[in-house]
Amino acid sequence: MNETYLYPYSAKEARERNELSLWRESHRANIACREAIEDAIRRSFDGMHLNEDCLAPVLEEYGYKRTAWVLANTLHELKWDGRFSPANKQWAERRYIPQDERHNAAITVRSHPAVLDGFVSLYRKAVQALNLFGAEHCVGDRAEQDFTGKVLVLSPDTLKESCWSQADQLWYAHDGFGCRPHAIRRSVRCTCLGDGETTRWNRHEFIGVLDEKYLPDWAREKLMELTAPRQEEPAADEMKLE
């Protein structure tokens, strides 16, 4: 798969951050992804139907994140076009794409909008099949919640695509300034319920607090292990010899 970093800012911002080379590499990969989408549609549309297998080679080469970036950008650019479904337009609106008029046009897919709308639907269906946690699985006001002692959902945008699974998304928050909603420092110390790794993430990298009703049985068992009271080791002089 193309491993080029997906740069999240505009060319103007990249220049200000002295990261123009990163932006250029990402922009070239975005253009290549756009061309791959156009080619996949051209090869897979018979004039009436779009072959559902057309998405696979694009995802294999460019991944979910970059494909979503190009598709969402396209729907942003063509939001006036009534041939895109309201559901797909709403999906695109939820994704932030920096305004960069000239360069955004370069990564706008040029396939027929009605057929492209079908391709977007196939992409969304493929993501849903991964069964990842999202904002709809969380409770409370994320901006006002204290994360301490809660099971948090890590955003897929933070994870590598090879780690896109529920097991890698669920983390138990121990402590850290980032647990408090209005603290200046944002670090949260937490443990992955999937593999037991303990590390720190920034508060903004979490989608929110998982609604308990969505907590899988395997995660509930791991959570009980993490939160169970620990028995203190007996002092040396209290130990009895057999």
The per-residue pLDDT for range 2-39, each reduced to its tens digit, is 899 999 999 999 999 999 999 999 999 999 999 999 99
**For residue 45, which phi and psi values (nearest 5 degrees)?**
-100, 120
The pLDDT score that the predictor gives to residue 241 is 46
The pLDDT score that the predictor gives to residue 184 is 87
- DSSP one-letter string for the chain: --------S-HHHHHHTT-HHHHHHHHHHHHHHHHHHHHHHHHHB-SS-B-GGGHHHHHHHHHHHHHHHHHHHHHHHTTT-TTS-HHHHHHHHTS-----HHHHHHTS--S-HHHHHHHHHHHHHHHHHTT---GGGEES-GGG---TT-EEEE-TTTS-GGG-SHHHHEEEEEE-GGGSTT-S--EEEEEETTT--EEEEEGGGEEEEEPGGG--HHHHHHHHHHHSPPPPPPPGGGPPP-
How large is the C-alpha radius of gyration of the chain?
22
Residue 62's identity, in one-letter code, is: Y
Query: Residue 231 — very low, low, confident or very high, per pLDDT cuts 50/70/90?
Result: low
* Contact criterion met (CB below 8 Å) for 156 and 135: no
Query: Residue 55 — very low, low, confident or very high, per pLDDT cuts 50/70/90?
Result: very high
Closest C-alpha among 159, 126, 8, 103 to residue 57 = 126
Q: How many C-beta atoms lie closer than 10 Å to residue 87's C-beta?
A: 12
- Check pLDDT > 90 for residue 238: no
The span from the CA of 1 to the CA of 233, in Å, is 50
- Check pLDDT > 80 for residue 230: no
| The model's pTM | 0.84
The pLDDT score that the predictor gives to residue 237 is 54
The pLDDT score that the predictor gives to residue 234 is 58
Mean pLDDT within 125-154: 95
**For residue 71, which phi and psi values (nearest 5 degrees)?**
-65, -45
Query: Residue 183 — very low, low, confident or very high, per pLDDT cuts 50/70/90?
Result: confident
- Check pLDDT > 90 for residue 69: yes
The pLDDT score that the predictor gives to residue 185 is 84
